[in-house]
Amino acid sequence: MAGHLRPRAAGPTRAGIVLLAVVLAGVGAGAAAGASFSKPAPTPVERQIQDEIEGLIASGVPKDSPKVAMLREQLAQLRTGDTARPPREPGVDTGAVLAGKTDDAGHPTAAAGAGAQAKVQPQAGAAATAAPTTTTAPDWQSGAVECEVVPNLLSAAEIAGATCASVPQPDGTSRYVAIGPEGVVRSVLFGPNGNVRRLPDTRAPAPAPAGTKVAATPQGDLRVAPPGRAAAVVDLP
Amino acid sequence: MRLPRSRWLVALLCGVAVGAASCQAAPTITTQTNSYYMARATAPDASRLGCFNANRSGRMTLFFGAPVTVRGAYGATLWGAPDRNTAEIGQTVQNFVRGYAYCRTDSRRRLLIGVGTSNSAINGRTDAWLQAHGAAWARMVANLNAWASKYYPGHAQIYAAWDFEPSWSSFAKADQWMHGYDITPGRRPLYANSSADGCPTSTATNGPCNNGWTQNRVWHLAWRHDPSMPIPQIYATSGVNAHQWQLIDLWATVAQHDGMYFYGTMSQAGACKQAGAGACPGTNNSPTSARNFLLWWLRTDRRTSQPSVDTMTDISWNS
């Protein structure tokens, strides 16, 4: 920097040195303040990702590993986001959605009224303090469905060779039902607010081999029609 | 590699003792989050769930069910609820993020959301179908992250997640899905929220796991693919799941010279509580116990030791 200054004719005085120091300190403080405005301190998640990067490397993963690079990219994206001024998402009314005044695609329902189109800003103090209340709209799938494991409630062995169905109930809950080829009916209740549990097994009147047709009844039971046999209704628990 | 019985006892006590100093399980940064099986996914449900998590920060997963075709498009089951295609799943995730953003009061919180499927019920699928589904999942997640980066950059990032379990499909079928995911341009990191069921509990010699899988095969999917970020299921209150993963890590370190790094643990205490007493006996670790078990077992061998395990996420049903 000194090379860009015009040489002084005489040496600096003590007052001049003090003045220069004050000016430099002021400039430095200003720069620091500016830097802190443009680069806020890392958030806890950003510190976590930095910790993961250091952990990866400490564990022997090369610094140029794709896994390290991947995390660095995530961290950089988050840091950019800290100071971003994102555009408002068009056509979104989260307040209306939270109030159940829109359909599944986020469009206002007829009952929502014109006010549902209003855009809202994130609202301080709106955080839920209790478990979310789920809706009981009659949108459950009815009839035969893919057989699959329900963790802790219906195992891979129990669905092997089974015929499966989803059966809505009049009370708004649903039964996920797997009828084994031997005719054992295994049911899992899906109710609102995390009410998910295995119900007692029952037995169909006849075995249910591959090709068995199933259909939910309006009463919440299951009509079962094994190949070549008459259909029978199974009362579900 | 067989450990004395006393070491098992110490591991058990370590898992039970929350934050026990003797376990050396004091990572510098730890976050505890909720993850969910998404058995309901309507816009109000997802938004409320996001709002409910407004006080959380860190890595978590929204799990959908088995990969399926939904009205001609790729998608996933939701157990008792209607199947959803990737576009509809995307809407669910967007609503979750919006609810989180709407309700969050601490601007320093961020959610790193995994959007997950599984290897359940895929044995009957063709290899081409599985690769295409993996690719469709990769595109969905990448698009969701681009959306979040545009509108909610200070709130959330979107990742993929995958619950692969040896008992649920052949390795070959699971590998096809992962291959399709990994070769897709722009694919995002993927949380491997996986199990190691049936894998060895005392040896690190590429021993067998359930259903024809091996330690190598579990490692291949949980780590070898670049996007994979292991956040395994540590459910057993005996700590055996943590030991299984440590042995997989040890085998990979010795035989492949490519040991694993664990980003976190998944527990299921919430789901077990919802399912009622006796629903998952011996597999209902608390989040802290799950983390402590894994960290403790990793530290039983300098070749697998790591300084911390940062994420603790506990899964429950959103129904």
**Closest by CA position to B271, among listed A142, A201, A194, A33:** A194
pLDDT tens string B129-139: 999 999 999 99
Residue range B227-249: mean pLDDT, rounded = 98
DSSP B233: B
pLDDT number for residue B16: 45
Condensed to tens digits (0 to 9), the pLDDT of residues B144-195 reads 999 999 999 999 999 999 999 999 999 999 999 999 999 999 999 999 999 9
Q: Which residues of A touch B311 (CB under 8 A)?
A: 48
Low-confidence winner among A34-38, A185-189, B6-10, B283-287 (lowest mean pLDDT)? B6-10
Q: Do A97 and B283 touch (CB under 8 A)?
A: no
Of B88, B95, B308, the CB nearest to A55: B308
Residues 6+ apart with CB under 8 A from B27: A51, B295, B307, B308, B309, B310
The whole-number pLDDT of residue A25 equals 57
Residue A101: which pLDDT band, with cuts at 50, 70 and 90? low
Residue A13: what pLDDT? 53
CB distance B39–A190 less than 8 Å?
yes
Question: 3-state DSSP call for residue B283?
Answer: coil
Residue with the larger pLDDT of the pair B133 and A171: B133
- pLDDT grade for B15, boundaries at 50, 70 and 90: very low
Q: What is the percent of chain B where pLDDT is above 90?
A: 82
pLDDT of residue A146: 81
Which chain B residue is nearest to residue A125, measuring alpha carbons? Answer: B105
Q: In the A/B pair of chains, how many CB contacts fall below 8 A?
A: 239
Q: Kindly tell me if the per-residue pLDDT of A122 is higher than 60.
A: no
Q: Is the pTM of this model over 0.90?
A: no
Average pLDDT of the residues of chain A: 76
Q: Is the pLDDT of residue A8 over 60?
A: no
Tell me the pLDDT tens digit for each residue of B21-76.
334 433 446 689 999 999 888 899 999 999 999 999 999 999 999 999 988 999 99
State the Cα–Cα distance between residues B32 and B312, nearest whole angstrom.
5
The answer on pLDDT for B231 being more than 90 is yes
Q: Which residues fall within 8 angstroms of residue A221, CB to CB, at 6 or more apart?
A: A167, A233, A234, A235, A236
Least confident interval from A18-27, A53-62, B44-53: A18-27
What is the torsional sign of CA A109, A110, A111, A112?
Answer: positive
Q: How confident is the model at residue A19 (pLDDT cuts 50, 70, 90)?
A: low
For range B265-269, the mean pLDDT? 97
Judged by CB atoms within 8 Å, which residues 217-236 of A form the interface with B? Answer: none
Which residues have C-beta within 8 Å of that of residue B290, sequence separation ≥ 6? Answer: B15, B234, B235, B242, B265, B266, B267, B312
What pLDDT score was predicted for residue A26? 52
Contact A94, A126 (CB under 8 A): no
What's the pLDDT score for residue A21? 57
Average pLDDT rounded to a whole number, residues B121-126: 94
Identify the closest residue of chain B to A71 by CA–CA distance. B189
The model's confidence at residue A24, banded by pLDDT at 50, 70 and 90, is: low
Instruction: Please tell me the predicted confidence (pLDDT) of residue B217.
Output: 98
Interatomic CA distance for residues B63 and B70, integer angstroms? 17
Please report how many Cα atoms fall inside a 13 Å half-sphere around the Cα of residue B117, on the Cβ side. 31
Q: What is the mean pLDDT of residues A227-233?
A: 91
pLDDT above 60 for A113? no
Residues of chain B with Cβ-Cβ distance to A98 below 8 Å are 44, 47-48, 51, 99, 102
Closest partner residue to A66 among B65, B104, B226, by Cβ?
Answer: B226
Tell me what the mean pLDDT of segment A130-149 comes to: 59
* Predicted local distance difference test score (pLDDT) of residue B14: 43
Q: What is the pLDDT of residue B89?
A: 96
pLDDT of residue B23: 41
